[in-house]
Amino acid sequence: MSIDLDAILASQGPGLLDLAVQGPMAEMKGSTILGIAAQVRRLKAEGQEVCDLTVGDFSPQHFRIPSELSEEIAVALAAGHTNYPPADGVPELKAAIVRLYERRLGLKFSPDWVCVASGARPPIYAAWRLFTLPGDRTLSSLPMWNVGYYAQLCQTRHEFLHTQAQHGFFPTVEQVRQALPGARLLALNSPLNPTGTAIDRDVIEGIARALVDENRRRLGTGQPPCILLYDQVYWLLPSPGVQHHNPVSLVPECAPWVVHVDAISKCFAATGLRVGWAVLPPALQGPMKSLIGHIGAWAPRPEQLATARLLDRPERTEAALDALRGQLDARLSLAYSAIAAMEAEGLPVHAVKPQGALYLSLRVDLIGRGLEGWSFQDNESIRRWLIEEAGVAVVPFQAFDMEDESGWFRMSVGAVGLDELGAAMTRLHEAVRRRFGAAAPGQRGDLG
Q: How many percent of the chain have pLDDT more than 90?
A: 83
What digits encode the pLDDT tens for the residues 86-120?
A: 999 999 999 999 999 999 999 999 999 999 999 99
Q: Cα separation of 394 and 71, whole Å? A: 35
Per-residue pLDDT, 46: 87
Q: Cα separation of 276 and 298, whole Å? A: 9
Report the pLDDT averaged over residues 74-86: 97
Residue 156 reports pLDDT greater than 50: yes
Assess contact for 237 and 356: CB atoms under 8 A: yes
Q: Cα separation of 189 and 183, whole Å? A: 18
Neighbours of 130 (CB within 10 A): 17
What digits encode the pLDDT tens for the residues 416-444?
A: 999 999 999 999 999 999 888 754 333 44
Per-residue pLDDT, 43: 82
Contacts of 150 (CB under 8 A, 6+ apart): 124, 125, 128, 187
Where exactly does CATH 3.90.1150.10 map onto the chain?
Answer: 29-58+320-435
- Quote the pTM value: 0.93
The arrangement of secondary structure in 67-313, i.e. its CATH architecture, is 3-Layer(aba) Sandwich (3.40)
Report the pLDDT averaged over residues 262-280: 98
Residue 30 reports pLDDT greater than 80: no
Assess contact for 311 and 96: CB atoms under 8 A: yes
The arrangement of secondary structure in 29-58+320-435, i.e. its CATH architecture, is Alpha-Beta Complex (3.90)
Could you give the angle at the alpha carbon of 213 between the alpha carbons of 212 and 218, nearest 5°?
Answer: 95
Where exactly does CATH 3.40.640.10 map onto the chain?
Answer: 67-313
Q: Cα separation of 282 and 111, whole Å? A: 9
